[in-house]
Amino acid sequence: MKPSLAKGTRDFTAQEVSRRKYIINILQNNFELFGFQPLETPSFENLSTLTGKYGEEGDRLIFKILNSGEYASKVNQEDWDNKNHQKLISQISDKALRYDLTVPFARFVAMNHGKLTFPYKRYQIQPVWRADRPQKGRFREFYQCDADVVGSESLLQEVDLVQLYLKSFSDLKIPVTIHMNNRKILSGLAEYAGITDKLIEFTVALDKLDKIGKEGVVKELLEREISQESIDKLEFLFNQSDDALENLLQLKEKFADSEIGLKGVEELEFVLTQSLNLGVDMQNLVFNITLARGLDYYTGAIFEVKADEVAMGSIGGGGRYDNLTEVFGVKNIPGIGISFGLDRVYLVMEELNLFPEEASTQVEYLFANFGGEGTLEALKLIMQLREKGISAEFYPENSKLNKQFTYAEKKGIKNLVFLGEEEIKNGTVTFKDLTAGEQKTVSLEEFLG
């Protein structure tokens, strides 16, 4: 059998694992600096927990798990003959791999709300699975790194999450721009144009402005049966200035008769103003009125983070979801959260050559194997190095020195150590720096530091 990987999955080499750990350690450190506590949930959930939370398209991308045993014998023949897919799925599968970390988190909060201290702040770093079409930066199995706060309606949470994003990406040396919008503003726009009943159709088309331009958006709106009169009222959307606060001022005038629209403007204005007061550079924040991600569950702020110097989709995103726990029968627990896309962050850092040398796992010393009594002395010295937290290993075979050199070079080991009869007799150690090509002999005490 020819070995192969399932489409949309990857193996990770030692260097890749080390670099991913480097990113995760920075994010985890920042999560905890901002007061978030760790949480882990199972890799699969009840199918009923996940479905209906991500919209029709999201539901199609959930990986279902077949029931164990003779599941096929329980299938209703009539449903099979009529190709009633929804009923068939419910008969052969009642569990699924988690699609994201937010819904399992909401389920956890709903199950444990009587034991939690609110506001409850948690972070979670675990893999998720989506039956998506693989492409650059998009995989079927990938890690999400989430930070969420539930139990608080304060807009200061949004301000704090902006700070968390900026500090984390600054620590990773990635220049980013945070795109921001508010679900209430999008609802206000639909109300202003008289298309409240077509909010989703309107925002889906508007979200494509960067890709298909004004003409393409207008064409799609007409195809979705949105009148030319309504489109004319929204003409100003295609002429936004670079000044976020100026654009919000314009919206205030348009939303004079829209309570929900004015509320959205007020919320976004607060987050932007407070962020600026805290010293955030306005260049890092963009009011993107076309941003419409997560409308099936976001109720207020919407965030999307893009790397400034790499052409790739978002490397982070999130928003406010004040009603998510209601589907589990628990009301009045508002929430907001953000996510870091570990795999895309990795690709950006790789493309910009941002990984420091210490982000790769390298063995410090390889002890050459000369056989004889030197073996035991080398092993004793290796034990002492390891007790000091210094990585070292012994070449297992008494092979030609050339072969041992090649092993060290291919593995990226920094130093090759020679502990022969002369060194043992004199209480010294000889080692060669394989990067600089320099060799020196030092006393045993000096070597151990």
pLDDT of residue 245: 84
In a domain, 64, yes or no: no
Whether 256 is in a domain gets the answer: yes
Identify the pLDDT of residue 17. 95
Whether residue 88 is contained in a domain is answered as no
Q: List all residues 6 or more positions away from 333 whose beta carbon is below 8 Å from its beta carbon.
A: 109, 110, 113, 118, 150, 151, 325
232 and 297 within one domain: yes
Domain with residue 392: its CATH number is 3.40.50.800
Whether residue 123 contacts residue 339, with contact meaning beta carbons closer than 8 Å, is answered with no
Residues 105 and 148 in one domain: yes
Is 165 one of the annotated binding-site residues? no
Q: Are residues 315 and 400 in the same domain?
A: no
Classify residue 24: in a domain, yes or no.
Answer: yes
Residue 227 domain flag: yes
Q: Is residue 430 part of a domain?
A: yes
Same domain, 333 and 198: yes
Q: Are 368 and 345 contained in the same domain?
A: no
| pLDDT score of 349 | 96
Q: How many domains does the chain have?
A: 2
Rounded to whole angstroms, the Cα distance separating 388 from 303 reads: 45
pLDDT on residue 299? 92
Q: Which of 351, 385, 406 is the last residue of a domain?
A: 351
Same domain, 219 and 368: no
| Whether residue 266 is found in the same domain as residue 393 | no
- Answer whether 0.75 is exceeded by the pTM: yes
Find out whether 429 and 419 touch, Cβ atoms under 8 Å: yes
pLDDT of res. 89: 67
Residues 317 and 379 reside in one and the same domain: no
| 128 and 262 inside one domain | yes
Examine residue 79 and state whether it is found in any structural domain, yes or no. no
> Bridge-partner residues for 135, per DSSP?
138
Cα(292)–Cα(186) distance, rounded to whole angstroms? 8
pLDDT below 70 — which residues of the chain?
Answer: 69-90, 137
The residue type found at 393 is E
- Does residue 79 have a known ligand-binding role? no
The pLDDT of residue 165 is 98
Q: Which residues pair with 147 in a beta bridge?
A: 123, 338
Flag whether 344 is marked binding.
no
Range of the domain at 403: 362-448
| Domain end point (choices 351, 372, 393) | 351
Q: Tell me, yes or no, whether 263 and 372 share the same domain.
A: no
Q: Is 107 annotated as a binding residue?
A: no
- Could you give the C-alpha distances from 183 to 256, 278, 364, in angstroms and in order? 17, 25, 53
100 is in an annotated binding site: yes
Q: Are 348 and 174 in contact (CB under 8 A)?
A: yes
pLDDT, tens digit (0-9, with 9 covering 90-100), for 245-270: 888 988 999 999 999 999 999 999 99
Residue 144 labelled as part of a binding site: yes
**Sequence-ordered alpha helix ranges (H) in 155-289:** 156-171, 183-192, 199-206, 209-223, 228-233, 244-254, 259-277
Final residue in a domain of this structure, among 303, 329, 351: 351
- State the amino acid at position 338 in one-letter form: I
Question: Which two three-digit tokens encode residue 362?
Answer: 């390298």
Q: Is 148 assigned to a binding site? A: yes
Place of tokens 């629209």: 261
The residues, any chain, with a CB within 8 Å of residue 125's CB and separated by 6 or more, are 24, 27, 28, 38, 143, 144, 145, 146, 342
Same domain assignment for residues 200 and 347: yes
Per-residue confidence (pLDDT) for residue 384, from 0 to 100: 96
Here the CATH number for the domain that contains residue 143 is 3.30.930.10
Question: Within this chain, do residues 205 and 344 fall inside the same structural domain, yes or no?
Answer: yes
Can you give the pLDDT at residue 114? 94
Q: Tell how many helices (H) and how many strands (E) occur in the chain.
A: 18, 16
pLDDT at 76 (0 to 100): 58
In this predicted structure, what is the pLDDT of residue 255?
Answer: 94
**Facing residues of 287 across strands?**
180
Indicate the SS3 state at residue 449.
coil
Residues 431, 418: contact at Cβ < 8 Å? yes
Domain assignment present for residue 309? The answer is yes
Kindly state the DSSP code that residue 373 receives in the 8-state scheme: T
